Chain A
Amino acid sequence: MKFACCRRSWASFWLAPLTSRRLVLLFATSLAAATPPIVIQNATILTVTKGTLNGSVLIRDGKIAEVGEKIMVPADAKVIDASGQFVMPGIIDCHSHIAADSINEGSVSVSSMVGIEDVLNPDDISIYRAVAGGVTTANILHGSANSIGGKCTVIKLRWGKDAHDMIFQGALPGIKFALGENPKRAGNPTGQRIGAGNVQGRYPATRMGVEDVIREAFNEAKVYQQSWKDYNEKIAQGEQPAAPRRDLKLEPLVEVLEGKRLVHAHCYRADEILMLLRVADDYGFKIRTLQHVLEGYKVAKEIAAHGAGASTFSDWWAYKLEAFDAIPYNAAIMTRKGVLVSLNSDSDELMRHLNDEAAKTMKYGGLNETEALSLVTINPAKQLMIDNRVGSIEVGKDADLTIFDKHPLSNYAKVEKVFIDGQLYFDRASDLADRPERETEKKKLMDKEKEEQKKNAPVGRGRPAA
């Protein structure tokens, strides 16, 4: 279940994007032309880091220019009346697989040579759906089939833009690690005694092997790092040595050693969590975030001491053996014990209501409203080291804002508007207004397809009649 598979429908995937993108493009062009400031007025503003106030937010040039109970409305400003509504920072999902055309390079146990950035798909409808759930930034991860997986990319959900323009410029790149059942299942896909089935096993097939794979890789990476250090030293001394051969697998690991690439490690059990922290200690690098980390509450002290963040689920459990000790109090215990905690989705669906997920931590473990909201805003921003840009409503930060009709920690709340860089990327009223036109367009295309099918009949493969 948590093998980072895509679950997508087969239907004509580009239909909805077409029309809803039109809305964004319209706004984008009108904003780009004159970029008038925007004032969101009369709202309850949940800044997350600076308390809650009733007032306004001024957006200028894609940034938050002013926040206050009373602010001067510039003459050229577009005013949005948000009476009775709630503005919060755009939600940040520290673990997602949307917008990726492939997830797992599972054939090798170290796949650090591949990266999500190369397969970003800006047409994935899940992007729009996530924006409609208030999400503005997401960490797009490689899958969990490998002890050391592929490279990860942080994106802003700028629906309608191309792949390149979705990338969160300035965010450090990441890399996925994975421990426990998933990487070892790839080693033993039959679940039988190794060699019993006719499926080729792949090292590792145990948690012991997972540790070894990571150590072996960093052993290699250290040697590789040294070869470049030696080379650069010789260059500095005026020598002309032959450059080492570039190694695309080891390069990202050297970046990890040098703190230029963040490690996001999929893990479940306390033992494997501790193992990874110790391996990282030995090789002198940091685990930036432990992902899922469902037994993190058992070793919260050690996690906090290492300085790793923890990005977990609200209440998932029992879907596999290593999730049987998962508890919904995980986020609360880790928070209380000094770990920087976020809640993530790892799901195109769950991603659309992370605010509800955050509310569960008030029930399970008694976090307060600000702590709960932090789990899906400022905390994941800190984990991704982009908190200077996003994660709270503060002057100077990117104008990534989500407007809810009710308090976002209420299960009755729904998203009304979403801004990214001060541009409107989701507006429920427009979405609703566009639907009749979208239906007409769909029908036209379906009719056309039927015509084509008639013309080209008989065909061996095709779609069922509607």
Chain B
Amino acid sequence: MKSLLVGFLLILPLAAADDDSFLIRGATVHPVASAEIQNGSVLVQNGKIVGIGRNIAAPKGTRIVEGKGLHVYPGMIDSATEMGLSEIGAVRESVDVGEIGKFDPQLRAEIAINPSSEHIPVTRANGITSVIAMPMSAGGGGGFGRGGGGSIITGQAALVHLDGWTWEEMEIKKSAGMGMRFPIIPPPPGRFFGADFPGAKTFTESKKDYETELRELKEFFENARRYQKAKAAKEKGFQTDLKYEAMLPVLEGKEPLIVMASRERAIRDAVQFADQQKVRVIIADPRELGKMGTELKSRNIPAILGPTLALPLHEDDPYDAAYTLPDQFYKAGVKFAFGSFDNQFARDLPYQAAMAVAFGLPVDEAVKAVTLNAAQIWGVADRIGSIEEGKSADLMVTDGDPLEAKTQVKLLYIKGKTVDLDNRHKRLYEKYLNRP
């Protein structure tokens, strides 16, 4: 017992001092921002990448991580999740994704992220080091695709590291963008849920709803602008309004609107709206591109592509419509990143990217879409997204191509700290594999 204790005492201070400083050497390094380096090294000091290349000299005493046969990539970024906001999809009490109300820009996803969510260690075990956690239009708690929520402006999406004792420690950017659902005329309910389906609306009714929502949206922006002016002019009797206050970064072009728009028409509407309002937008979960490629490219509007492993939007679309969509965006010159728009499948983010590769997307572009592109879109490319000097040491070390399911993530670092790859699933695995 005594010798054990002494051992601990000897090791502990050293380990603590070295925790976020180390040298990975002899690995294949994939910086993403530049060409891969065989037999390369990455030097990390105090959580930052300070050296990358063939022969990197590390200060004496630096902890060495032997990377022979391994690959080093920047940690992946999932650009749309409910991480920490939802634990069990069907259990209302565990879901904090969609609030009640049409215009909720004041809501902050960040403060509702449960840092002890079981989803966090499960997701990062597959090499995902940061995510966007996003409030969604659902109403009354539900998440993506659950319930026909009425929110148009859903709140502030947070960009967080998947490590930290509190949401404050997890924070990369407290508000990376303002969630929004662009009003649409919903398609008819389909042949299974005919016009008699409860809640089914006629086209005329749906169109009227759409026009009302568009008008409300415009009014909300106009009011926000009046507020902005009143504030700037220090008008007498000016009072702080939390909703309009939250809109200021959007109106000032500092913060993008993350606009959920799946169909071509909604994308076109959203682009037009951005032009009129002179605000920045990111298109989220587009399911088709149509003729919008040039429009998006010329305005530098990026997209967060939803699951590639998805059915075509229309029944008469080509069977591979969702598989080829990323390549369509690439060929159109539109910048994009991938998002899982989910929690349970967030760890499958690299396989969404891989399917796009099977159907035409160059593999380097697929890797960028889960790393550097995401960092650029969220305005944090100076901090994460690639292996470059000065960036946070968010690194995954794998035994192969991370887009292949059979590849194992061997080591993971967030801000240079070794992250525990254990999780609920591994614990249950070991427990029951050894059941007598």
How distant is the Cα of A13 from the Cα of B318 in the complex, in angstroms?
12
How distant is the Cα of A173 from the Cα of B207 in the complex, in angstroms?
48
- 7 pairs of A and B residues whose beta carbons are closest in the complex: A411-B354, A10-B190, A320-B90, A15-B316, A329-B429, A11-B314, A359-B405
How distant is the Cα of A67 from the Cα of B374 in the complex, in angstroms?
48
Most buried by B among A10, A132, A333: A10
How distant is the Cα of A129 from the Cα of B313 in the complex, in angstroms?
13
Choose one: A301, A324, A365, A460; the contact of B202 (CB below 8 Å): A460
How distant is the Cα of A7 from the Cα of B405 in the complex, in angstroms?
27
B119 interfacial contact with A, CB 8 Å: yes
Closest beta carbon of chain A to B350's beta carbon, Å: 8
A360 interfacial contact with B, CB 8 Å: yes
- Known: A412-B358, A460-B202. Is A9-B404 also a contact (CB below 8 A)? no
How distant is the Cα of A12 from the Cα of B188 in the complex, in angstroms?
12
Given contacts A10-B191, A411-B355, A412-B358, 16 further A-B contacts (CB under 8 A): A10-B190, A12-B316, A13-B316, A126-B311, A129-B311, A132-B320, A300-B432, A316-B344, A319-B344, A320-B90, A320-B91, A362-B405, A362-B406, A363-B406, A414-B323, A461-B203
B253 interfacial contact with A, CB 8 Å: no
Closest beta carbon of chain A to B145's beta carbon, Å: 9
Quick one: CB contact mask for A54-76 with B, threshold 8 Å, 1 for yes?
00000000000000000000000
How distant is the Cα of A289 from the Cα of B424 in the complex, in angstroms?
27
Contact A359 B404 (CB under 8 A): yes
A223 interfacial contact with B, CB 8 Å: no
| Residues of A contacting B88 in the complex (Cβ-Cβ under 8 angstroms) | 318-321, 323-324
B206 interfacial contact with A, CB 8 Å: yes
| Residues of B contacting A319 in the complex (Cβ-Cβ under 8 angstroms) | 88-90, 344
Contact A15 B344 (CB under 8 A): no
Instruction: Report the interface size for chain A: residues with CB under 8 A from the other chain.
Output: 64
| Residues of B contacting A10 in the complex (Cβ-Cβ under 8 angstroms) | 187-191, 315
| Residues of B contacting A16 in the complex (Cβ-Cβ under 8 angstroms) | 315-317, 319
Quick one: CB contact mask for B180-194 with A, threshold 8 Å, 1 for yes?
000001011111100
| Residues of B contacting A320 in the complex (Cβ-Cβ under 8 angstroms) | 88-91
How distant is the Cα of A16 from the Cα of B319 in the complex, in angstroms?
9
- Known: A9-B315, A461-B203. Is A1-B432 also a contact (CB below 8 A)? no
- Known: A321-B90, A362-B405, A464-B185. Is A11-B316 also a contact (CB below 8 A)? yes
B204 interfacial contact with A, CB 8 Å: yes
Choose one: B119, B351, B426; the contact of A356 (CB below 8 Å): B351
Closest beta carbon of chain A to B366's beta carbon, Å: 10
Quick one: CB contact mask for B396-414 with A, threshold 8 Å, 1 for yes?
0000000111111000000
A125 interfacial contact with B, CB 8 Å: yes
Contact A363 B433 (CB under 8 A): no
Q: Please name 13 pairs of A and B residues whose Cβ atoms are closer than 8 Å in the assembled complex, sorted by A.
A: A10-B189, A300-B432, A315-B347, A318-B88, A318-B343, A319-B89, A327-B429, A329-B429, A329-B433, A353-B355, A431-B319, A438-B316, A462-B203
Secondary structure call for the B interface:
loop
A window 350-369: CB within 8 A of B:
350, 352-353, 356, 359-360, 362-365
A449 interfacial contact with B, CB 8 Å: no
A7: nearest residue on chain B (CB-CB)? B311
B348 interfacial contact with A, CB 8 Å: yes
Quick one: CB contact mask for B373-408 with A, threshold 8 Å, 1 for yes?
000000000000000000000000000000111111
A410 interfacial contact with B, CB 8 Å: yes
A218 interfacial contact with B, CB 8 Å: no
Q: How many Cβ-Cβ contacts under 8 Å join chain A to chain B?
A: 166
Contact A435 B429 (CB under 8 A): no
How distant is the Cα of A7 from the Cα of B190 in the complex, in angstroms?
10
Contact A8 B190 (CB under 8 A): yes
B window 307-346: CB within 8 A of A:
309-320, 323, 343-345
How distant is the Cα of A353 from the Cα of B310 in the complex, in angstroms?
10
A325 interfacial contact with B, CB 8 Å: yes
| Residues of B contacting A462 in the complex (Cβ-Cβ under 8 angstroms) | 203
How distant is the Cα of A15 from the Cα of B424 in the complex, in angstroms?
46
Most buried by B among A12, A327, A360: A327
Contact A411 B319 (CB under 8 A): no
B433: nearest residue on chain A (CB-CB)? A333
Closest beta carbon of chain A to B421's beta carbon, Å: 12
Contact B203 A11 (CB under 8 A): no
Closest beta carbon of chain B to A46's beta carbon, Å: 15
How distant is the Cα of A301 from the Cα of B312 in the complex, in angstroms?
41
Contact B403 A363 (CB under 8 A): no
B96 interfacial contact with A, CB 8 Å: no
| Residues of A contacting B206 in the complex (Cβ-Cβ under 8 angstroms) | 464
Most buried by A among B90, B195, B363, B425: B90
| Residues of A contacting B318 in the complex (Cβ-Cβ under 8 angstroms) | 431, 435
Contact B89 A318 (CB under 8 A): yes
Contact A464 B203 (CB under 8 A): yes
B347: nearest residue on chain A (CB-CB)? A315
